[in-house]
Structure 1
């Protein structure tokens, strides 16, 4: 028998419930206890002069129309710098990024490497780990949303003695939108989601530690060990529970922080995404079966991110004004109309 979920999480890979499963489960309890003691006894290097507390590393391809909202949102929740790796983009991404580069907020790296996501992450660690306390590895369709705190850095403050923190995904569907007006926000347009969080997400790396040798497959993104003085150390999740052997100890539905993963967006955007390939995998699995699989699980709503929308809209408006002053193109976005439509829909 295979189990697809537990009380709080949906499994990315269904778990076969057999004797081997229970042996691994028991062993995970023992290892978690052992590593928790070990983590608490290690005092990593801390006295360093760093430019930033929280930074994000991301690789992108032809996502210019999403970059402004993504950057402006993460500025609000405390991201101080962005290391962005361009992977064969042919759209007008530079017109969006140039003001942020000029202000020192964005470091842009050209990365013409096929399936270059993992190598870009490694490059970021090697080049920039001495500039920032934390590096989060996320994509442009992912938004890190603090729930119990206002800032990501405030949340991460309690993990000073942890090498890696895993923040879990919440998958969002299309909310029934076939073609989205690009003058609307991703974070406002899509609110239908899966009932439970995924048992995978993305990692925030504490540069007081070293990275352990590479793991195989896509584990770099979702699950990663750290190292200090040749001692390998496992990641913890947002509840400070050690994650080993594929188990994620989560005892509540209330996440202090989450990653909103807008994996499909609207149907027309999903079709665009399907055509451009993948920065990690050679085989692009973004077919219509994948779309409908995510749609049919999106029977619930999540509005955690809405508490940042007013500030986000004002900041985006301001960024357009600054771009105009600096000689860039300027198109005014009217948010109030879309907001009014949404408010009426909710009231009904």
Structure 2
């Protein structure tokens, strides 16, 4: 086996390369090429964190909790074992591939030696791959990204060095002082030493060999990636077409000037001992952004002149670099623009000062101990993760978004709105199995917030769900379809594929796929979908992010509204575990996508315009146009709409769900691990309860039909009997006991869930 390590460089297409490798992973493996999963899902940042200087923690290690040298050393040992196990699982692989653009930023050969030592047990044949673009273009992109992370210096920092004639890499690295915090890391604040490409190549050749460094041109479109991979990996062709991730438009030069001034004020705030969480910081930068032209690489001509001779020497050795290392045409010399409109960074920061003060005084993650339940239940791995989570950016907290624990005036009832001829309006598609007690509440709720039609598939029901839906179909409330003939691992996906042929779907204005344990919680106007859509008139897709509602220590199944029984949830800031910020999508039926999947539409028409927004009505990053089913700190938003997810309900209901199995992945069981990931019960959220009066009125209208009422009550009795039966079964009785003992706080739950993800 030989190894190829793709080291970036930063801002030269690593994300497109990693996206291509991820899409091609199965085909590559069939051809004997293993794209590592042990080093990370896509970007192999664990490889970088394991070998960087133990005494100088970079921003990534700070953020992930690996800053202390002993913790980093354990990461290195664990990763070494996992890489060897991964290689052993794939004995036919002839090539092992890694990708992490952070590796190019390692400043000294000692770190590269650690990387070689880590990989040596796998293979002694290691090739280094780097993609390059002309330094001025690369710096313009890097500058914007560094400002997003808190950079304080302007581009004059690099231009002054370029004009001085001093050795670039040596001078830049000499300025790397001791690191006191993640904010003052030289990777953010310093001059990027790796722009000196000849010095970069020499350093890697010194460790890995003179013939072991390959340079390739950066392709902004990503179109040449498959051909480059074939050449690099010795493959004839790759059959699968890849979709390059859409690039977000560059921030304007005026925006960057504003960001730098905001960073300076926020740095002074940090110096007083206050805490400014990253989501709050980034939200402020986004709020201050303005449209306009970006920084022009041609205005950084001093940098292009500085590297002109070195670039010529590289082109002589690597002719493919000829086009990418040519400078842009000359433009007026760069000068930081006026931020415009009387901008004052101090006023922007003053507006969020209350949130900063709250974040500073409320630090649950810094609690030294753990609850008795956590001491008893958490594995050693989970306890290690708990320590690393404390104070880092993945620690859950409830300090974003609008208040959710304040009771408000009830929403007014709504009446059905007549639809234009030939239209079916807003349509929910859903799949159900043994959900009879919950159907009427869910239907009544969503009818009151403005859903016009429902297409519901069922399979293998034994509690009367199918009969109840048949009666509701007769009354014109829903359209019910049997799905007992499903094939594959997903009855849900089988149903969604069939749904595309339905008139109800083809004639819809909006398509929404949610489950019966999910409620669209609109927080504006009268709490209807129209009230929300008025705020986002150009939206084509709405990412409705989950807020997980836990068990609330409710043991017994009751025939009462779910949204009234369960009012405690996950914290609003909960980036880990990965399920916490999953979203479902409300999609305008414009033909932009050719397939419906569980969380989002797929198979996008490349020429179709799309505008994704989050639950705060703000645009989502362009990468979501093609793929993605989870929000992250850059895309989360709950201000106007959230998706309340009641995955557990009562403990007895959970037992029934456990026996029933999953609709999406029937090959995955629901057990204690599922409970750990879903039982968030420390943060009160009663916003949805404004709907209770109109929910009661609409439910009464549905129950006015005697047959609907009879079938609903029959379903309730079936669930009561099934719960009693399961509680008398030893396996389920033990599961019930374990769930009730699982009393963890938010940080402990996140740590345990992350440990379960790592352990599989």
2:522 aligned with 1:140? no
Unaligned ranges ≥5, structure 2: 1-60, 66-99, 106-140, 146-219, 221-243, 251-419, 574-579, 714-760
Pairing partner for 1:298 from 663, 681, 684: 681
What's 2:581 paired with?
A: 199
Tell me the TM-score normalised to structure 1 length.
0.74
SS in 1 for 2:480: strand
Q: Distance in 1 between matches of 2:586 and 2:709?
A: 36
**1:235·1:242 contact (CA, 8 Å) conserved in 2?**
yes
What's 2:642 paired with?
A: 258
Q: What CA deviation, in whole Å up to 9, does each residue of 1:34-88 have, x standing for no partner?
A: 8xxxxxxxxxxxxx95433211000001111111111011111111110001122
Pairing partner for 2:696 from 294, 313, 338: 313
**1:59·1:85 contact (CA, 8 Å) conserved in 2?**
yes
2:433 aligned with 1:61? yes
| TM-fit CA distance, 1:3 | 4.9
SS in 2 for 1:263: coil
Pairing partner for 2:546 from 165, 169, 191: 169
Q: Larger Rg: 1 or 2?
A: 2
Q: What CA deviation, in whole Å up to 9, does each residue of 1:3-42 have, x standing for no partner?
A: 59xxxxxxxxxxxx9839x9999599982338xxxxxxxx
Q: Distance in 1 between matches of 2:570 and 2:432?
A: 25
Higher strand share: 1
SS in 2 for 1:221: coil
Q: CA, structure 1 residues 19+235, in 2 after alignment: closer, same or farther (shift >3 Å)?
A: farther
**1:160·1:206 contact (CA, 8 Å) conserved in 2?**
no
Q: CA, structure 1 residues 119+3, in 2 after alignment: closer, same or farther (shift >3 Å)?
A: farther
**1:68·1:96 contact (CA, 8 Å) conserved in 2?**
no
SS in 2 for 1:169: strand
Q: CA, structure 1 residues 327+88, in 2 after alignment: closer, same or farther (shift >3 Å)?
A: closer
What's 1:221 paired with?
A: 598
Q: Distance in 2 between matches of 1:263 and 1:73?
A: 17
Runs of 4+ in 1 over 6 A off after TM superposition: 22-25, 27-30
Q: CA, structure 1 residues 163+251, in 2 after alignment: closer, same or farther (shift >3 Å)?
A: closer
Tell me the TM-score normalised to structure 2 length.
0.36
**2:429·2:512 contact (CA, 8 Å) conserved in 1?**
yes
2:592 aligned with 1:210? yes
2:405 aligned with 1:33? no
Unaligned ranges ≥5, structure 1: 5-16, 35-47, 215-219, 332-348
**2:468·2:711 contact (CA, 8 Å) conserved in 1?**
no
**1:163·1:226 contact (CA, 8 Å) conserved in 2?**
no
What's 1:131 paired with?
A: 507
What's 1:286 paired with?
A: 670
Structure number with the bigger relative contact order (C-alpha 8 A, sep ≥ 6) is: 1
| TM-fit CA distance, 1:232 | 7.3
2:557 aligned with 1:180? yes
SS in 1 for 2:647: coil
SS in 2 for 1:129: helix
Pairing partner for 1:19 from 82, 94, 102: 102
**2:524·2:531 contact (CA, 8 Å) conserved in 1?**
no
Pairing partner for 1:119 from 491, 494, 502: 494
Aligned-pair RMSD on alpha carbons?
Answer: 3.6
